[in-house]
Amino acid sequence: MEAISKLEIAKMIDHSLLHPTMDDQTLREGIELARKYHVASVCIKPYAVKMAAEMLHGSDVMVCTVIGFPHGNSRVDVKVYETERAIDDGAEEIDMVVNIGKVLSEDWDYVTNEIASIVAVTKKHGAALKVIFENDFLSNDLHKIKLCEICSQLKVEFVKTSTGYGFNKQSDGSYSYKGATEDDLILMRRYSDKSVEVKAAGGVRTLEDTLKVRQLGVTRIGATATEAIILAVDGKKAGESPEGY
């Protein structure tokens, strides 16, 4: 296994607190866990950004939130408003979902304008923008490549694979998703400018998963199994007393 510290792994993690059923107490517990392990950010539901910013004040953990989540269907001006309000509330990173229908329509002028409109807000306020492709809905690699090119042109900070909620109906009638696949991560790293980082989200649940995507050029992951991933660096399991940093 690659020699790596708990802190190096922690700083790859956006601790995800996005599930619709998470109540306020669950969110507070998640924020405290993120602070305890010094992760890169807490990625939290938009209405809770202010709470997260207050709880994380003075820490080394950033506040991240989502825009147009999870399906990307909001109007451009609504996404802009969401972004402005999120930053006003204390968000330092923004994960926006592209308009997937417009990507599939190959309306690249619309897609470019939408991302550029959000970039204008994030650049103005010094926030980082991650653009979520939702690759489970994009069976044509050319669509993913074009998104990488647009994001590179607009100098976004990250391209991101998935929301974690992009469920597709399978042949047996069930719904599931692939999330961050190896093929997609290789493609996104290859076709994005070197200045654009890659975030893997959806299915990265273990230290082994994390190290694997790191080898593919991923610098950030979205995770709910944060504690288990970090403690595994020292061979511990979640629930055991971790050593401090």
pLDDT digits (tens, 9 = 90+) for 106-140: 999 999 999 999 999 999 999 999 999 999 999 99
Whether pTM > 0.85 for this model: the answer is yes
Inside any domain, residue 167: yes
Span 56-93, pLDDT tens digits: 999 999 999 999 999 999 999 999 999 999 999 999 99
Range of the domain at 205: 6-234
Q: Does some domain include residue 1? A: no
CA 129, chain centre distance (Å): 10
Domain-located, residue 58:
yes
- Upper half-sphere CA count for residue 203 (Cβ side, 13 Å): 18
In a domain, 244, yes or no: no
243 within a domain of the structure (yes/no): no
Task: Answer whether residue 107 is part of any domain.
Answer: yes
Which residue of the set 6, 79, 146, 160 is catalytic?
A: 160
Please give the pLDDT value at position 239.
53
Distance CA 104, CA 102 (A): 5
Whole-number mean pLDDT of the chain?
94
Q: Where does the pLDDT of residue 2 fall: very low under 50, low under 70, confident under 90, or very high at 90 and above?
A: low
Inside any domain, residue 245: no
The number of C-alpha atoms within 13 Å of 206 and in the hemisphere containing its C-beta is 4
User: Could you confirm whether 184 is annotated as catalytic?
Assistant: no
Q: How many domains does the chain have?
A: 1
Contact 66, 18 (CB under 8 A): yes
pLDDT band with cut points at 50, 70 and 90 for residue 242: very low
Q: Is 60 a catalytic residue?
A: no
Q: Which residue has the tokens 């990307």?
A: 72
Residue 11 in contact with residue 235, Cβ under 8 Å?
no
CATH code of 182's domain:
3.20.20.70
**Looking at 14, 89, 95, 136, which residue is catalytic?**
95
Q: Is residue 122 part of a domain?
A: yes
Is 199 designated active site? Answer: yes
Q: What is the pLDDT of residue 189?
A: 98
CA gap 181, 204 in Å, rounded: 10
